[in-house]
Homo-oligomer: A and B are copies of this chain.
Amino acid sequence: MTSSGSRGHRSHPSVAELVSSARELRTAAVARLVSLVEGNSPQLRAVAAALAPYAGRAQVVGVTGSPGVGKSTTISALTRAIRQQDRTVGVLSVDPSSPYTSGALLGDRIRMLEHSTDKGVFVRSLASRGRLGGLSAAVPQALRVLDASGFDVVLVETVGAGQAELEIASLADSTLVVLAPGAGDDVQAAKAGILEIADVLVVNKSDREGSASVVRDLRRMQSYRAAPDGSWATPVVQTVAAHGGGIDELLAAADGHFAWLRSSGGLAGRRRRRAAVEVEAIVIDRILAQLATQAKSTALDEMAEIVACGEIDPYSAADRLFPL
């Protein structure tokens, strides 16, 4: 193993050294690798190549739901429960609507402070860059870093509903959809098709009024769905995450789904789906980067100008930019 530029002052660790440290769950190394894949650095390719042999071992759990239902509290409580079983946890918080990484998820970080001295827990917030095209490739790559570092469980949280949730679900082995009574989103959540992606439904704040009716609604909606023999019956788990209530049951449900995936042979399919999403995201990022190059960007501006004034239609403009 070589390190360059070490003339008396502290040398930068090589990618191989970083990966080796990350594999011992050293926080600084894991964090540096996430930054490298997030920032699209020149070392990105080397990092990806070095991680490849170690990826695919973590149990990846997506946690999603509308703002205010208590996702962060649930994640924090789950983290505690997983640690009590001596398993290690990586947490990724993804805010797809924010172009800023900085303060956006400060509240979440503060809630996770109790884990900040625990080497078996790694927490990182990621903002997608607000570009057209959904989640950036940085999200699956950051997930890949935590997976390859060797965390037993990786929790991926999305803030907000919509497209990003579907994409996170396509990266996860299991998806927990969190709802809460009185958030006005019980029926709305069903409306948004969110139930389709749930492997486990979580009714948080279940000490609140209206909790029973949310559970009833969810069970009724599920009864409308065809469930062939041997398929997974999505459980509805009630929690009061703020006090840890129901969290052991929730973890058991998530682990149960993962065990079912393994035994049914479904896990390999989900892993291939994740890999396909990863590769697609990289391809799309490349196309967008091409669009953003000086020459293409000027051409796009010019096309936008003549499309805006009705001189040509947008399809003809697309032809000129990227001939079929």
Contact = CB atoms under 8 A, between A and B. Distances in A.
A274 interface: yes
Interface stretch (A14-22, A247-255, A307-315): A307-315
A191 B56 contact: no
For the side of the interface on A, what is the size category? 35 or more
Contacts of A163: 96-97, 128, 130, 134-135, 162-164
A28 interface: no
A97 B313 contact: no
Interface in A122-179: 128, 130, 132-135, 140-141, 144, 158-167, 170
A308 B268 contact: yes
B279 A314 contact: yes
Contacts of A324: 286
Interface stretch (A43-51, A81-89, A226-234): A43-51
B56 A310 contact: yes
A38 interface: no
A303 interface: yes
Contact of A185 (B67, B273, B287, B304): B67
Contact of A313 (B51, B160, B287, B314): B51
A260 interface: no
A contacts with B: majority SS: helix
Interface in A273-324: 273-284, 286-288, 291, 300-301, 303-305, 307-318, 321-322, 324
A272 interface: yes
A188 interface: yes
Contact of A97 (B165, B268, B315): B165
Contacts of A56: 308-310
Contact of A191 (B107, B193, B280, B316): B107
A261 interface: no
B134 A317 contact: no
A128 B132 CA distance: 14
Contacts of A308: 56, 268, 271-272, 274-275
Interface stretch (A1-9, A98-106, A213-221, A236-244): A98-106
Q: Which of A49, A69, A107, A130 has the most CB of B within 10 A?
A: A130
Nearest to A98: B193
Given A284-B284, A291-B280, A68 B184 contact: yes
A13 to B, nearest CB: 20
A262 B142 CA distance: 44
Contacts of A275: 303-305, 307-308, 314, 317
A130 B194 CA distance: 12
